Amino acid sequence: MLELYHNDMSTCAQKVRLTLAEKGLEWEGHHMNLRRGDTRTPEYIKMNPGAVVPTLVDNGTIICESTVIMEYLEDAYPEPSLRPKDPIEVARMRGWLKQLDEGLHAAVGVISNSVAFRYQTMEGRSEEEVIEHINLIPEQAKRDRIMDVTLKGVDSSYFKPAIKRWDKLFSDMEAALNENTWLTGEEYSLADIAYTPYLTRMDHVQFMDLFEQRPKILAWYERVKARPNYAGISDWINDKYIPLMAEQGKIVWPRAKEILAA
Ligand SMILES: N[C@@H](CCC(=O)N[C@@H](CS)C(=O)NCC(=O)O)C(=O)O
């Protein structure tokens, strides 16, 4: 039996739910409330040392890290295949996945937190309680980043590099989609799945002007949303998050635009 510790709006959990849906796999969910700190308990950290979702449990075996989970699902449940046959395309696919793990995911965390999620973290907590809550994050670098972004919002020094990094990624993505229908070639792959939640996040924070001059990305986004597996995102939308992300995102977008124009 497949069990997934996840969260409704988490981009990493969305990656895994999209993969499970594409493969038509049944799973049992354990929903974790991230603002409450459900992943920061000693019991959960034993299972997932980073104190994050998602965690997959397959017949009692624990698998952490969304990219690792996606590749595991591809190996353990190969049909339909989400890894291209051509080794060059597999290399490209892994290149896209690697970038998320090496900074892009953290950068989207900076954007989402500084724009919107910080308000949820601060709600009902004094400043000391906010600091105490963030201090439960096991990894030092992440703790420092989340602390700064939560306390300072878009004035955090992490905001500028984060938006610039995503802008660079979107230039690369537009170029790739100018060549092919999907990110790695003519086959829909784990790379397309992995980036779908991040496009959705840009949409939710109303940063869609990023794609004004990037029509291929917009067309790709329409294609991924039209696939049945998009239910892995749309069935789990938390209505409390959407207005907050939209309202705060609209306020912040001119600032992001200024950074990108400089
Ligand atoms: N590298 C990890 C990152 C996972 C991650 O950052 N998950 C976030 C949600 S997208 C989380 O659980 N955060 C916990 C928290 O905010 O307390 C992965 O790919 O699985």
Per-residue pLDDT reduced to its tens digit, 168-186: 999 999 999 999 999 999 9
Do 65 and 110 lie in a common domain? no
Instruction: Take residue 40 and report the two structure tokens written for it.
Output: 């920061």
- The SS3 assignment for 84 reads coil
Cα–ligand 1 centroid distance for 241 (angstroms): 17
Give Cβ neighbours of residue 240 (< 8 Å, ≥ 6 apart). none
Element (H, E) at 30: strand 28-31
CATH of the domain at 230: 1.20.1050.10
pLDDT of residue 50: 97
Same-domain status, 133 and 249? yes
Q: Are residues 219 and 123 in the same domain?
A: yes
Answer yes or no: do 118 and 237 share one domain. yes
Same domain for 158 and 192, yes or no, is yes
Say how many C-beta atoms besides its own lie within 10 A of residue 157's C-beta: 10
Looking at the fold, whether 119 and 35 belong to one and the same domain comes out as no
Q: What is the mean pLDDT of residues 231-252?
A: 97
- Tokens (6 digits) for 262: 């400089």
> Are the beta carbons of 23 and 77 closer than 8 angstroms?
yes
Mutate to test the pocket of ligand 1, among 8, 52, 63 (most ligand atoms within 8 A of CB): 52
Q: What pLDDT sits at residue 79?
A: 97
The Cα 84–Cα 202 span in angstroms is 27
**Domain stops at, among 76, 104, 136:** 76
- For the chain, the domain total comes to 2
CA distances from 128 to 42, 120, 151 (A): 21, 15, 11
137 and 47, same domain (yes or no): no
State both tokens at 84: 């291209």
103 and 72 in a single domain? The answer is no
Asked if residue 82 is part of any domain, the answer here is no
Q: Which atom of ligand 1 is nearest to the CA of 32?
A: 12
Which residue, of 29, 53, 76, is where some domain finishes?
Answer: 76
- Residue 138 located in a structural domain: yes
pLDDT tier, 65 (very low <50, low <70, confident <90, very high otherwise): very high
Q: How far is residue 43's CA from residue 41's CA, in Å, rounded to a whole number?
A: 5
Query: Quick check: is 247 in a domain?
Result: yes
**For residue 80, cis peptide bond before it (omega within 30 degrees of 0):** yes
User: What are 172's two structure tokens?
Assistant: 């690369």
* Residue at 81 is within a domain: no
Average pLDDT over residues 222-249: 97
Indicate whether 129 and 193 sit together in one domain: yes
How many alpha carbons fall within 13 Å on the CB side of residue 256? 28
Q: What is the pLDDT of residues 1-29, one digit of tens each?
A: 999 999 999 999 999 999 999 999 999 99
pLDDT score, position 104: 98
Does residue 116 sit within a domain? yes
Q: Using the atom order of ligand 1, give the atom closest to the CA of residue 65.
A: 20
31 domain residue, yes or no: yes
User: Could you give the angle at the alpha carbon of 207 between the alpha carbons of 188 and 250, nearest 5°?
Assistant: 150
CB distance 233 to 197 below 8 Å:
yes
Residues spanned by the domain of 241: 87-261
Q: Give the per-residue pLDDT at 230.
A: 98
48 and 107: one domain? Answer: no
Tell me which residue of 242, 227, 183, 208 sits closest to 18, measured CA to CA: 227
Q: 27, 45, 76: which is the final residue of a domain?
A: 76
Residues 189 and 256 occupy one common structural domain: yes
Asked whether residue 46 is domain-assigned, the answer is yes
**DSSP H helical ranges for the chain:** 11-22, 42-47, 66-76, 87-99, 105-112, 118-122, 127-134, 140-152, 159-179, 190-204, 215-226, 231-234, 241-261
Q: What is the CATH number of the domain that holds 29?
A: 3.40.30.10
Q: Rounded mean pLDDT of the chain?
A: 98
How far away, in angstroms, is 13 Cα from ligand 1 center?
8
Buried b (16+ CB within 10 A) or exposed e, 17-33: bbbbbbbeeebebeebe
Same domain, residue pair 165 and 44: no
Decide: helix, strand or coil at residue 100. helix
Q: How far is the CA of 12 from the centre of ligand 1 (A)?
A: 6
pLDDT for the residue numbered 148:
98
Binding-site residues, ligand 1, Cβ < 6 A: 10-12, 34, 39, 52-54, 65-67, 101, 105
Q: Is residue 241 part of a domain?
A: yes
